[in-house]
Amino acid sequence: MSRYDLLIKGGTVVLPYHGEIRADLAVSEGKVAAIAHDIAAAEAGEVVDARGKVVLPGAVDAHFHLGIYRDLATDAFEETRSSLVGGATTVLSYFRTGSHYLDRTGSYEEIFPEVLAAVSGRSWTDYGFHLAPMTVDQIAEIPYLVAEHGVTSFKYYMFYKGFDLAANSRDARAFTMGDEYDLGHLYLILEQVARVQDAHPGLRLSLSLHCEQSELMRVFIDRVRSQGDPQTLRAYHEGRPPLTERVAIGEATTLANHTGTSVNLLHLSSREAIEAVVLAREVNGAADMRAETTLHHLCLDHDGLDAVGGLGGKVNPPIRTRADGEALWQRAADGTIDWVASDHACCMEAEKGERLWPARPGFGGTALLYPVLFSEGHLKRGLSLARIAELASANPAKAYNLWGRKGSLAVGFDADLTVVDPELAQTVTPELCLSGQDHSPFEGVGLTGWPVTTVVGGQVRFRDGAVVGEPSGRYARRA
């Protein structure tokens, strides 16, 4: 009988916050069991040859949207399958009531078990959820969600406040299916999260924030549309400019500091946004404010996408300029940005259409998480492999109460990992990503450094461009 279930042999093992070592890594019962200079292949039931390759902790893709535009069970199967391509072994998906998702409102005590049932047995990765309290009654459910379901992160969308862009309406309540969704509602959520935090000192309870200021958006959108209503991603950027992020970050962090609530500032898209975070941290001292950016805000620019044509790159916040992307890369390197996520939302090309404002926002990107960080971050900009592992895995695991299980290859952690071929060069296509989505704004981008094996819970689930076995992802309870 073999001593170990799986052996990753001969690779460069990357340990976040520490560095790289040439070592063998052994797995037993779904956990990392040993790291040593040389473990005999005969000691393992299965061996993965990692010579000349890099072994990274499985990415924790902490910003995902399962089921936003499609059937939740179908999305869970196809889009977590896509995660394996990019080396992600855990996804944390946002969910809310209102338009899209299940297109209904009500109690999370009733609705959330339906969500969990739809995803169970369909996910290739481990998975968890961030929930958005859209009503006052749902704010009151936060203690229940923490205690009963291990949900420790919540969300508020600042740009829903008072303006429904899809309907071009000054009243967003038809979209949110909720109460008055204003700064008062945000303040009530912050108070409640801080109150529940006091009862759970061993956890980090947090509120994630989509920071765009809706009243300013209304002014700029009206201005853009009055100037010929251009149907370009540049126009979308001009209608929702970085100023709206900067102001919203100031509002949100001021309230969070007052209530003492930990916050996550999501998908920062611009130089102005990340510099607003730097300022907020300086002003608010010891307040816990963590910063996220996305692959597309790091790597894509609206002029480049407009040159290709189409609205496939429409997303909120908008794609900005190349200079904004470089500013975000610099802040990812120096530690200002805590993690990088995909903000994956499977959206078909037909749902984009040819008209800018009705086009649905969002697209998939989870298949590119480690390829972008390795190719653009490590090879092109010199980020260390340890820093890449921190951005993709360790830091989101720590922020969302998964550390100790996820985020590292240390002995005792879940055996979630990916083996990257540092010389494998591929051009992005929708087919390569193994997603249900039929297009990609990254299409045609060449990247070097792709996962060739991805392991979830000690089981090889992706090898050489194809999935292996059946979905075995588990719900990641975080309390």
Q: Calculate the alpha carbon distances from 262 to 80, 183, 289, 313 in Å.
A: 28, 17, 6, 31
* Torsion sign over Cα 76, 78, 79, 81: positive
Per-residue pLDDT tens digits for 421-431: 999 999 999 99
Share of the chain above pLDDT 90, in %: 94
Topology classification of domain 58-402: TIM Barrel (3.20.20)
- pLDDT above 80 for 177: no
Alpha carbon distance 2, 41 (integer Å): 10
- What pLDDT score does 161 carry? 76
When pLDDT is cut at 50, 70 and 90, the band that residue 162 belongs to is low
Domain limits, the chain = 4-53+447-467, 58-402
CATH fold of 4-53+447-467, please? Urease, subunit C; domain 1 (2.30.40)
Q: What three-state secondary structure class fits 477? A: coil
Distance CA 436, CA 197 (A): 38
Residue 317, preceding peptide bond in cis (omega within 30° of 0): yes
pLDDT, greater one: 209 or 479: 209
The overall longest dimension of the chain from CA atoms, in Å, is 74
The confidence score (pLDDT) of residue 174 equals 67
Q: What is the pLDDT of residues 267-316, one digit of tens each?
A: 999 999 999 999 999 999 889 999 999 999 999 999 999 999 999 999 99
Scored b (16 or more CB within 10 A) or e, 95-104 reads: bbbbbbbbee
Fold identical between 4-53+447-467 and 58-402?
no
Contact predicate 319/297, CB 8 Å: yes
Give residue 180's pLDDT.
81
- Residue 366 and residue 83 in contact, taking contact as beta carbons nearer than 8 Å: yes
The pTM score is 0.96
